[in-house]
């Protein structure tokens, strides 16, 4: 099974990591729309369109290597892989950096394969790290006055 990890390097979600087991998704839609799989903050990540880009994957012939690609969905500010604008479906490799709009939030994509029998516990999308700003606000709210 292919597992996609998205590391948020900048933007409102900087410092967080989300894991997407591809057995649970047909594709990953990226954008500010609440229906997107990879969601960006509607107020703080203004360069990201509501429906910005889609990440798709398929297995090679006869169980060969996974092919992962990203396509821009006619976003207002463009999609960039390793600083190159995506004009057509573009292959993604482990460690590639994706930027959503010029000067917009950047993510790093990690592509990992696991054994077919390996169990991935729910939830399908899991945040592994919490931004420092959120932690600080949570701690301050809990302190007695």
Tokens of 138: 């949570």
| CA nearest to 19, candidates 44, 42, 2 | 2
pLDDT on residue 138: 46
pLDDT on residue 83: 98
Choosing among 3.20.20.70, 1.10.760.10, 2.60.200.20, 3.90.420.10, the CATH entry for 2-142 is: 2.60.200.20
In b/e form, how buried is each residue of 96-134, taking b as 16+ CB within 10 angstroms?
Answer: bebbbbeebbbbebebeeeeeeeebeeeebeeeeeeeee
| CA nearest to 18, candidates 128, 100, 112 | 128
- 115-127 pLDDT, tens digit each: 654 444 444 555 5
Task: Provide mean pLDDT across the span 125-145.
Answer: 51
Distance of CA 60 to the CA centre of its chain: 22
Task: Provide mean pLDDT across the span 129-137.
Answer: 52
- 67-93 pLDDT, tens digit each: 999 999 999 999 999 999 999 999 999
- 41-63 pLDDT, tens digit each: 999 999 999 999 999 999 888 77
Per-domain residue ranges of the chain: 2-142
């Amino acid at each position: 099974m292919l597992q996609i990890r998205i590391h948020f390097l900048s933007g409102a979600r900087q410092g967080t990591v989300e894991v997407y087991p591809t057995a649970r998704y047909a594709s990953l839609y990226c954008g500010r729309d609440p229906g997107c799989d990879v969601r960006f903050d509607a107020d703080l990540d203004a360069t990201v369109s509501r429906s910005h880009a889609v990440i798709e994957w398929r297995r090679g012939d006869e169980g060969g290597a996974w092919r992962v690609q990203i396509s821009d969905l006619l976003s207002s500010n463009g999609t960039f892989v390793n600083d190159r604008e995506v004009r057509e479906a573009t292959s993604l490799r482990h460690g590639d950096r994706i930027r959503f709009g010029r000067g917009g939030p950047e993510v790093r994509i990690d592509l990992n394969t696991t054994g077919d029998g390996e169990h991935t516990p729910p939830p399908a999308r899991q945040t592994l790290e919490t931004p420092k700003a959120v932690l600080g606000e949570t701690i301050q709210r809990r302190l007695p006055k």
